[in-house]
């Protein structure tokens, strides 16, 4: 701010000495100088003139007065001029202070305001005069006042100018100021206050904050919009990326240097050429370029980005800067692809579905349609229909009715759905259609047109008529079958048949005519007649009906609508029919041995036009019931003679067999047919359960047991039989006990329910089947012209072929996908479809263009007009998954059967090994160590031990062992199994093992661990078809808590690790992701069940461990099995006693031994008696209970087999415990499959001894249990 002196006259005239003085000093100086000059000069003049005294007084007085006047004038002039300068300066200062928007103020040393301009007063909301003399505490809130006063003191103490931002609150309003403060000094330079100027920068601060907020929001918007910005300076090479761009490309900002080369490296290799051309366009003069590129992110994900770049050039036109943005448009590209595919799919669906689809405008002109509708209108393309109306269609004559329906839909806005009407199509073809129409609405909800669909239901209506007729026929036959079900008398069969037939057709008469040509007569035993109609029962001479023989000997039925006019009846024979009041009839001959044996007739008194369905009903009845009549007659005769009995059984439509001693001793021909056999040898002598599906075995076995136990028949049970070809047939079963050859037997009769089940199924599920048939549209469609061989197909068909949907299909290219016999079958079928319109439905092997092997179902429905095939149309369905699943299921059944066989073999084999190994050990105990007989016995013992080990390994392979976890040493398990593994993998695979010292023990089932190792090694072998290396190693590992994130099944802590590594073909990531899924396999059909690794996963997880897999294509695979370490040391089974050594006799307790195998029971008794125990014996559970009940003393231990005839070991133990509550129980068994589980033994807390066992193991276990030391 300018100071006062800058505006003074002296300052304007150059200043001088006076100009540097203050106003009082200047006035005093001038006055002093003037006074001295006046005194000196005036006195000197007076002396020089020489006035007399009196005159001198007045001269002196006048001189003094003049001096005073001149002095006063001088002082007035000086003060007046200085006052004007001061006033001008103050005016200038006031103008600045009042006109500036900055707050200006001056404070004294105590903080009281000496100067406060209007801008400052406006901020504090007070008048200037109300502020002067007051301090900051009366203007601001306490916190603001405290901060301002502290800064004022700092400025006065420091003595220097200070500028800073201050946020102050006055009158409830907070503003931000940029304040500049300096010390206010007196004439001596002492700070006596503060001078300050404050500028309101609140708006600027808010703008800066808003800018920062905008930048943050911009960054967030870029993230949300998947958009990042960048610039590039070609001359300097400088590149800058926004944070959003780093995130978009998934590159770390602190570890990635953005350069043009780095950006190019991120571009997809196929798009780098286009990116380079865009850069060349920019450098060549383009101002803006846009492009869409693929970026391969740092994490491997490929995204689409839209890049928009703009150049900045210097005065010479050189590019100095390129700025741009990259936006992730992956979702949009995907949506565009989906939209295109959706449109194409919709077009293909509309053109491929049988329904006709059209849509009209409000004026009822066509806006569009699908291809089938266009063809109905007589056009080739839907485009030819657009703009036309119904008056220009083949149905123009009935267009008014169709348009009236359209108008009702448009006016009401309501749909008209699923109504049937007749349609006249191109060429005058009439058909029945099911039509639906509904309004088309715009975004505002207003109706702008009508959408219609119709489906040709002519064939369906015909099919419905056929189905109705079939249902009526089946219902009638079912009614007839039920009516005849309990009728055995032949006359009654005829009565029931004629009554059912006559009532069903509503005729006057129904009867059988038995024709005896040799005797020359016709006999009607009984007939059905309506009330008031005379019966025709009786005998008639053949001569009166001579036309019967020639007319019916060919076996064809006759339907005569009017006896008086029908040419079938000779004129000479008409009177005989009129005489017995026959006006119309249907007659069906029954031929036996070339002779007419009977006629089934229905007659009316008056002429009647017979429908084909009525004639068919009579034919069906004749074919089905005359056999019943004959069988009934045979049944009467068979009751009198065994030979006649066999004749009856042989003629029965139901299957009959005799079960004697659980073997089929007799079956009738119907039984052979029912079971699919052609010779008695295929059935007789086999067990009946061989023809029962597994699901019904228990039911059938129980029913047979009931019949034998009660001696009463069991009838009418629905079951299934298993035919020789593997198919099943539903039957209604009856069983009757008889005596056959002096032994008890059971006669079993099976009534085939196939036809009835089929009828019931059709009746219950007819509508469901129609709906399911429509769902078969999930297949690819195709068609071609039989002349040009040009065709089209749907995208699904192209996908099955492994080609682009836009590729033109050809017949030859389609046939090339088949090979061998399947190719020949397809060629024959396609040729027949082209030449004769013959449809086909085949399931064949198929090879896609990509080389992928598939199983497909190929169907064809040629379009025939007249006698000419105009289009060959069909479908192709990929049924590979279903085909593979069926193969996997069959393989799983084989494995299950193998497991069941192994379990049964193990039981008997283990019993034998118990005896062999046990007695061998006993003999070795008795022989001296130098006895030469020990050598062959040692070999026998070793062979027995190897056989036991082989049994365990075989059962481990077939997954049949009982889970029995114990503390194991993996090194021992692997070492014992190495021999079996070498046999499994073959000689072309080299096996190496490496065992860690001090390996931690694990708690697991030894057999299951062996199974895990076998499965992994077999899989490794299959991955090395030409040989390789297989390494099995063990090590210790500690799983850290952090590792559980990558392996959810892992538990922190010490683990023993079993590693299997091969040098095979390896696996891609997508295969690794699915290897533990049940039934997933990459092996060929029939080469794997897909259960091996799933079993490994389940066993390891059950043991508390987890499996890790490392593999790469061409680099082999490594499987690491982590099993938690056990706290106890590994102990081998029965290691407390060395094999062959029996502990000293130390028992005096009583042991009850229950074993159904005599040799095993004798061996156990020998061992225990040798140890000093009192041994009681029982051959089964019932005997054990009886022995315990009669034994006078205590019984300390029950040693029992688990599975025995009658009551098993568990049941016997429960009854013995009732008498001896404190008795100890030890179970033993040779079974190792689920038989032990079913008998409730393999549970925690129950003692179990697995066969085979040594004498030492048996003695040790018995002693441990009696002592209470067995865990």
Measured CA to CA, the distance from residue 243 to residue 263 in angstroms comes to 15
Last residue of a domain, which of 94, 114, 131?
94
Whether the pLDDT of residue 1166 is over 80: the answer is yes
What per-residue confidence (pLDDT) applies to 818?
A: 93
* pLDDT tens by residue, 254-291: 878 888 788 888 899 998 888 888 888 888 888 888 88
What per-residue confidence (pLDDT) applies to 358?
A: 93
Whether the pLDDT of residue 116 is over 70: the answer is yes
| Helix, strand and coil in the chain, % to nearest 5 | 45, 25, 30
Point out the least confidently predicted range of 41-55, 96-110, 868-882. 41-55
- E strands of 848-935, at which residues? 853-860, 863-865, 868-878
Q: Is-contact 1117 1023, C-beta < 8 A?
A: yes
Q: 957 lies in a domain?
A: no
What per-residue confidence (pLDDT) applies to 1240?
A: 47
Does residue 446 sit in the same domain as residue 360?
Answer: yes
Q: 511 lies in a domain?
A: yes
Query: What is the domain extent for residue 107?
Result: 100-200
Measured CA to CA, the distance from residue 63 to residue 39 in angstroms comes to 9
What per-residue confidence (pLDDT) applies to 236?
A: 83
What per-residue confidence (pLDDT) applies to 717?
A: 85
- Whichever domain contains 469, its CATH number is 3.30.450.40
What per-residue confidence (pLDDT) applies to 1249?
A: 86
- Whichever domain contains 1005, its CATH number is 3.30.565.10
What per-residue confidence (pLDDT) applies to 231?
A: 86
User: Residue 773: which pLDDT band, with cuts at 50, 70 and 90?
Assistant: very low
Does residue 1149 sit in the same domain as residue 1009?
Answer: no
Q: 533 lies in a domain?
A: no
Whether the pLDDT of residue 1137 is over 50: the answer is no
What per-residue confidence (pLDDT) applies to 636?
A: 66
* pLDDT tens by residue, 420-458: 888 877 677 788 889 999 999 988 889 999 999 998 888
Strand 191-200 and strand 173-185: the pairing is: antiparallel
What per-residue confidence (pLDDT) applies to 34?
A: 72
Does residue 232 sit in the same domain as residue 161?
Answer: no
Q: 1153 lies in a domain?
A: yes
Q: What is the mean pLDDT of the chain?
A: 81
Q: Is-contact 1084 1025, C-beta < 8 A?
A: no
Measured CA to CA, the distance from residue 219 to residue 224 in angstroms comes to 9
Write the CB contacts of 122 (distance below 8 Å, at least 6 apart in sequence): none
Does residue 242 sit in the same domain as residue 188?
Answer: no
Phi, psi of 1099 (to 5 degrees): -65, -45
Q: How far is CA 893 from CA 888, 889, 896, in A?
A: 9, 6, 5
Find residue 625's DSSP bridge partners. none
The top-scoring range by mean pLDDT among 875-889, 985-999, 1198-1212 is: 985-999
Q: 348 lies in a domain?
A: no
Q: 347 lies in a domain?
A: no
Does residue 480 sit in the same domain as residue 589?
Answer: yes
Does residue 507 sit in the same domain as residue 608?
Answer: yes
Point out the least confidently predicted range of 28-32, 771-775, 963-967. 771-775
Q: What is the pTM of this model?
A: 0.32
* pLDDT tens by residue, 191-219: 889 988 888 777 777 777 766 666 566 66
Q: Dihedral (C-alpha) 1178, 1181, 1183, 1186: value to the nearest 10 degrees?
A: 120
Last residue of a domain, which of 760, 795, 820?
760
In the chain, the percentage of residues whose pLDDT exceeds 70 is: 83
Write the CB contacts of 702 (distance below 8 Å, at least 6 apart in sequence): none
The top-scoring range by mean pLDDT among 10-24, 738-752, 947-961, 1028-1042 is: 1028-1042
């293909």: which residue's tokens? 348
Strand 1028-1039 and strand 989-994: the pairing is: parallel
Whether the pLDDT of residue 677 is over 70: the answer is yes
Does residue 976 sit in the same domain as residue 1118?
Answer: yes
Two tokens at 762? 């059709």
* pLDDT tens by residue, 292-322: 889 998 888 898 998 888 888 888 888 888 8
Measured CA to CA, the distance from residue 277 to residue 267 in angstroms comes to 13
Whether the pLDDT of residue 79 is over 80: the answer is no
Does residue 79 sit in the same domain as residue 106?
Answer: no
Does residue 496 sit in the same domain as residue 599?
Answer: yes
Last residue of a domain, which of 760, 789, 808?
760
Two tokens at 1067? 């696996």
What's the total number of domains in the chain?
9
What per-residue confidence (pLDDT) applies to 5?
A: 38
- Whichever domain contains 161, its CATH number is 3.30.450.20
User: Residue 954: which pLDDT band, with cuts at 50, 70 and 90?
Assistant: low
In the chain, the percentage of residues whose pLDDT exceeds 90 is: 20
* pLDDT tens by residue, 1054-1109: 999 999 999 999 999 888 878 877 667 777 655 665 667 877 887 888 788 999 99
What per-residue confidence (pLDDT) applies to 9?
A: 39
Measured CA to CA, the distance from residue 410 to residue 452 in angstroms comes to 12
Point out the least confidently predicted range of 335-339, 730-734, 1175-1179. 335-339
Q: 894 lies in a domain?
A: no
* pLDDT tens by residue, 24-78: 666 677 777 777 777 777 766 766 766 666 666 676 777 677 777 777 777 777 6
Higher pLDDT, 1124 or 55: 1124
Does residue 221 sit in the same domain as residue 328?
Answer: yes
Whether the pLDDT of residue 1019 is over 70: the answer is yes
Q: What is the mean pLDDT of residues 97-102?
A: 68
User: Residue 11: which pLDDT band, with cuts at 50, 70 and 90?
Assistant: very low
Phi, psi of 397 (to 5 degrees): -65, -30
Q: Greatest CA separation found in the chain?
A: 218
Q: 647 lies in a domain?
A: no
The CA-to-CA distance between both ends of the chain, in Å, stands at 105
Does residue 20 sit in the same domain as residue 74?
Answer: yes
Phi, psi of 749 (to 5 degrees): -115, 130
User: Residue 1237: which pLDDT band, with cuts at 50, 70 and 90?
Assistant: very low
Whether the pLDDT of residue 363 is over 90: the answer is yes
Does residue 441 sit in the same domain as residue 474?
Answer: no
What per-residue confidence (pLDDT) applies to 904?
A: 65
User: Residue 1242: which pLDDT band, with cuts at 50, 70 and 90?
Assistant: very low
Find residue 923's DSSP bridge partners. none
């Amino acid at each position: 701010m300018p100071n006062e002196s800058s505006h003074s006259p002296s300052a304007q005239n150059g200043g001088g000495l006076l100009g540097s003085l203050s106003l009082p000093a200047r006035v005093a100086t001038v006055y002093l100088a003037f006074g001295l000059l006046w005194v000196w000069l005036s006195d000197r003049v007076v002396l020089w003139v020489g006035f007399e005294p009196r005159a001198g007084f007045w001269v002196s007085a006048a001189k003094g007065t003049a001096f005073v006047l001149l002095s006063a004038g001088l002082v007035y002039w000086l003060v007046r001029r200085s006052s004007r300068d001061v006033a001008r300066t103050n005016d200038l200062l006031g103008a600045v202070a009042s006109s500036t928007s900055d707050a200006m103020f001056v404070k004294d040393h105590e903080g009281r305001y000496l100067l406060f301009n209007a801008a400052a007063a406006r901020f504090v909301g007070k008048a200037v005069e109300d502020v002067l003399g007051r301090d900051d505490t009366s203007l601001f809130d306490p916190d603001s006042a405290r901060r301002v006063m502290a800064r004022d003191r700092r400025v006065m103490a420091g003595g220097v100018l200070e500028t800073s931002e201050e946020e102050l609150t006055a009158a409830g309003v907070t503003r931000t100021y940029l304040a500049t403060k300096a010390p206010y000094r007196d004439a001596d330079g002492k700070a006596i206050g503060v001078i300050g100027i404050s500028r309101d920068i609140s708006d600027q601060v808010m703008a800066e904050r808003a800018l920062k907020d905008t930048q943050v929001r911009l960054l967030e918007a870029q993230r949300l919009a998947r958009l990042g910005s960048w610039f590039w300076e070609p001359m300097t090479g400088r590149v800058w990326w926004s944070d959003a761009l780093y995130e978009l490309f998934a590159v770390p900002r602190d570890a990635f240097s953005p350069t043009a080369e780095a950006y190019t490296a991120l571009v997809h290799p196929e798009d780098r050429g286009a990116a380079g051309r865009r850069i060349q366009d920019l450098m060549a003069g383009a101002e803006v370029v846009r492009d869409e590129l693929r970026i391969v992110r740092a994490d491997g994900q490929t995204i689409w980005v839209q890049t928009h770049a703009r150049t900045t050039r210097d005065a010479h036109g050189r590019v100095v800067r390129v700025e741009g943005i990259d936006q992730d448009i992956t979702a949009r590209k995907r949506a565009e692809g989906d939209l295109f595919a959706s449109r194409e799919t919709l077009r293909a669906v509309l053109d491929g579905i049988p329904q006709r689809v059209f849509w009209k405008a409000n004026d009822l002109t066509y806006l569009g349609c699908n291809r089938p509708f266009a063809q109905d209108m007589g056009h080739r393309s839907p485009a030819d229909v657009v703009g036309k109306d119904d008056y220009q269609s083949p149905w123009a004559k009935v267009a008014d009715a169709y348009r009236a329906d359209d108008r009702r839909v448009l006016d009401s806005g309501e749909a008209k759905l699923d109504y049937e009407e007749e349609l006249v199509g191109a060429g005058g073809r009439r058909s029945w259609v099911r039509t639906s129409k509904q309004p088309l609405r715009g975004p505002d909800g207003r109706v702008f047109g009508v959408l219609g669909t119709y489906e040709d239901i002519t064939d369906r209506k015909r099919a419905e008529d056929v189905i109705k007729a079939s249902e009526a026929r089946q219902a009638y036959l079912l009614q007839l079958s039920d009516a005849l079900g309990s009728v055995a008398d032949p006359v009654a069969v005829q009565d029931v048949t004629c009554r059912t037939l006559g009532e069903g057709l509503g005729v006057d008469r129904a009867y059988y005519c038995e024709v005896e040509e040799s005797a020359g007569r016709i006999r009607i035993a009984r007939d059905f007649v309506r009330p008031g109609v005379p019966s025709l029962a009786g005998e008639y001479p053949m001569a009166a009906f001579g036309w019967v023989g020639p007319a019916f000997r060919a076996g064809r039925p006759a339907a005569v609508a009017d006896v008086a006019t029908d040419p079938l009846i000779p004129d000479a024979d008409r009177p005989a029919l009129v005489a017995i009041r026959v006006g119309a009839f249907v007659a069906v001959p029954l031929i036996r041995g070339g002779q007419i044996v009977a006629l089934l007739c229905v007659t009316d008194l008056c002429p009647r036009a017979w429908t084909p369905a009525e004639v068919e009903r009579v034919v069906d009845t004749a074919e089905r019931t005359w056999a019943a009549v004959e069988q009934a007659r045979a049944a009467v005769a068979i009751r009198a003679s065994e030979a006649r009995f066999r004749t009856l059984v042989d003629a029965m439509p139901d299957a009959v067999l005799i079960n004697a001693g659980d073997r089929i001793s007799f079956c009738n021909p119907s039984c052979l047919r029912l079971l699919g056999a052609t010779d008695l040898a295929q059935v007789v002598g086999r067990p009946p359960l061989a023809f029962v599906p597994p699901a019904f075995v228990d039911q059938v076995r129980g029913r047979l047991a009931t019949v034998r136990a009660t001696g009463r028949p069991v009838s009418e049970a629905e079951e299934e039989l298993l035919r020789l070809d593997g198919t099943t047939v539903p039957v209604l079963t009856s069983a009757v006990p008889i005596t056959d050859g002096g032994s008890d037997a059971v006669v079993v009769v099976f009534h085939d329910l196939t036809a009835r089940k089929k009828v019931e199924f059709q009746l219950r599920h007819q509508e469901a089947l129609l709906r399911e048939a429509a769902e078969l549209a999930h297949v690819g469609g195709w068609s071609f012209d039989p002349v040009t061989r040009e065709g089209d197909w749907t995208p699904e068909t192209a996908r099955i072929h492994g080609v682009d949907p836009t590729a033109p299909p050809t017949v030859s290219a389609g046939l090339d996908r088949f090979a061998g016999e399947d190719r020949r079958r397809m060629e024959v079928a396609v040729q027949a479809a082209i030449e004769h319109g013959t449809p086909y439905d085949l399931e064949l092997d198929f090879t896609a263009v990509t080389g992928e092997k598939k199983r497909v179902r190929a169907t064809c429905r040629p379009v025939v007009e007249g006698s000419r095939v105009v289009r060959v149309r069909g479908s192709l369905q990929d049924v590979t998954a279903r085909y593979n699943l069926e193969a996997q299921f069959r393989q799983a059944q084989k494995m299950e059967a193998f497991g069941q066989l192994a379990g049964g073999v193990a039981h008997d084999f283990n019993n034998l090994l118990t005896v062999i190994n046990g007695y061998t050990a006993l003999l070795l105990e008795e022989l001296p160590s130098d006895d030469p007989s020990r050598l062959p016995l040692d070999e026998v013992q070793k062979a027995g031990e190897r056989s036991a080990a082989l049994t365990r390994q075989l059962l481990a392979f077939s997954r049949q062992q009982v889970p029995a976890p114990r503390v194991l040493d993996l090194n021992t398990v692997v070492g014992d199994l190495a021999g079996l593994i070498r046999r499994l993998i073959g000689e072309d695979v080299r096996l190496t093992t490496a065992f860690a010292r001090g390996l931690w023990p694990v708690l697991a089932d030894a057999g299951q661990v062996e199974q895990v190792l076998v499965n992994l090694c077999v899989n490794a072998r299959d991955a090395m078809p030409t040989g390789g290396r297989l390494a099995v190693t063990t090590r210790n590992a500690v799983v850290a808590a952090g590792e559980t994130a990558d392996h959810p099944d892992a538990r922190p802590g010490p683990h023993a690790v079993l590693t299997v590594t091969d040098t095979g073909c390896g696996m891609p990531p997508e295969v690794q992701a699915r290897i533990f899924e049940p039934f997933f396999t990459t092996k060929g059909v029939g080469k794997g069940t897909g259960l091996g690794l799933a079993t490994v996963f389940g066993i390891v997880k059950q043991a508390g461990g987890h499996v890790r897999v490392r593999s790469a294509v061409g680099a082999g695979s490594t499987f690491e099995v982590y099993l938690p370490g056990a706290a106890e040391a590994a102990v081998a089974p029965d290691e407390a006693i060395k094999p062959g050594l029996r502990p000293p006799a130390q028992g005096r307790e009583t042991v009850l031994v229950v074993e159904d195998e005599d040799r095993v029971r004798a061996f156990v008794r020998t061992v225990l008696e040798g140890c000093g125990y009192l041994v009681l014996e029982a051959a089964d559970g019932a005997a054990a209970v009886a022995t315990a009940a009669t034994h006078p003393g205590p019984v300390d231990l029950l040693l029992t087999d688990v599975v025995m005839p009658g009551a098993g070991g568990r049941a016997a133990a429960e009854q013995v415990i009732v008498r001896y509550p404190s008795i100890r129980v030890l179970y033993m068994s040779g079974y190792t499959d689920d038989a032990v589980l079913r008998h409730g033994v393999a549970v925690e807390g129950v003692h179990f001894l697995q066969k085979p066992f040594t004498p030492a193991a048996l003695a040790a276990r018995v002693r441990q249990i009696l002592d209470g030391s067995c865990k």
